[in-house]
Amino acid sequence: MTVQWQEQVSLKPFNTFGIDVKARYFCQPHDDEQIREALNRAHAQGLPVQVIGGGSNLLLTQDVDALVLHVASRGVQVISDDGHAVIVEAQAGEPWHPFVQWTLGQGYCGLENLSLIPGTVGAAPMQNVGAYGVEIKDVFAGLTALDRETGELREFDLAACTFGYRDSVFKRNPGRWLILRVRFALSHTLQPHLDYGPVRQRLAEQGNAEPTAQAISDAICSIRREKLPDPAELGNAGSFFKNPVVSAECVERIRAQHPGVVAYPLADSQVKLAAGWLIEQAGWKGYREGDAGVHRLQSLVLVNYGQASGAQMHALAQQIQADILQRFGVALEMEPNLW
């Protein structure tokens, strides 16, 4: 069936910042055929195409003079299950958190730490989504994408995705591949990852010394609900800046002035600084200018109190970046994709 195009569609309901810009054209293809058809039609008209999933990692700063293709494909399939290891495939348009809950309901372990992340399955590999010590690369079994340059299907294994910290080949080549479906290597046996942040403590408070994957997911959901704003109530795109990875010397220089600096050693004597800590130290926590602000509980999250434009959110982000560079000599990189 031919996919309908609409004209001059407000993207406000399609981005979690709640920014009100218009798409020149908008369509919601439900399967590979409709996706191909929309891309071909746009190509024939010389129209650029922008792909959108849940809009939870986007900052829209202007009307989008393109076809905005909202991936709406659905479906989850068990590819193999030998009683220990399970491969599950989900279509790109599947909402992420309900998919995670579905896997847990089936008794499949592996995605529990990635609970309550907004967005879609298809966008998850873009920035190798991660939380509480697990990244999608840790449970990745492969994906199928459409090469938008050649129109051919391509299979990506783990190596081909070159996943990094909030990074992948897809993020580094925006617009090249449209991810159609993703496969996950899950297990009937839980390998718990509890050493990150307050996860173990929350489970201990609940008297849960040997938690199930569902109990870990529930604990993480409760921690996240306490700390992070719900986009349905307060517009945001999660962490607005990546945690900067810097040299050990850089951290020592900062520590000399700020003994409480929050830093986590990585391989190759690199160190990950908590960007939220830097922003909080600089006094931005809870800052508000018009409807653009910094969340009162988590400084890494910029929020839209209602009517902020994307340009206002971006201007606030740039002010913060300049201040952190000046105070600490550290460059903060934006995490959301800027349109």
Q: Which residue has the tokens 């349905």?
A: 232
Please work out the total of residues on this chain that contact ligand FAD, with binding judged by CB under 6 A: 32
Q: Closest separation between CB of residue 95 and ligand NAP, Å? A: 16
Choosing from 94, 115, 166, 181, the catalytic residue is: 166
Active site residue 56: no
Q: By C-beta, is 37 or 81 nearer to ligand FAD? A: 37
Active site residue 335: yes
| Secondary structure (3-state) at 271 | strand
Q: By C-beta, is 34 or 321 nearer to ligand NAP? A: 321
Q: Please, which of residues 174-193 interact with ligand FAD by CB under 6 A?
A: 174, 178-179
CB atoms within 10 A of CB 145: 24
Q: Please, which of residues 129-148 interact with ligand NAP by CB under 6 A?
A: 130-132
Check residue 110 for interaction with ligand FAD (CB under 6 A): no
Q: Mark out the alpha helices in 84-131 (DSSP H runs).
A: 96-105
Residue 232, CA distances (Å) to 15, 28, 236, 251, 292 in order: 10, 21, 9, 37, 16
DSSP string, 181-237: EEEEEEESS------STTHHHHHHHTT-SS--HHHHHHHHHHHHHHHS--TTTSEEE
Max Cα distance, the chain (Å): 64
Check residue 118 for interaction with ligand FAD (CB under 6 A): yes
Active site residue 247: no
Closest CA relative to residue 239, chosen from 182, 303, 321, 179: 303
Separation of alpha carbons 216 and 31, rounded Å: 33
Q: By C-beta, is 175 or 265 nearer to ligand NAP? A: 265
Check residue 271 for interaction with ligand FAD (CB under 6 A): no
Contact residues for ligand FAD, defined by CB under 6 A = 16, 51-58, 71, 92, 117-120, 122-124, 126-127, 129-131, 174, 178-179, 228, 231, 236-238, 337
Q: Which residues have a catalytic role annotated? A: 166, 239, 335
Contact residues for ligand NAP, defined by CB under 6 A = 130-132, 195-197, 227-228, 238-239, 243, 264, 274, 276, 298, 300, 335
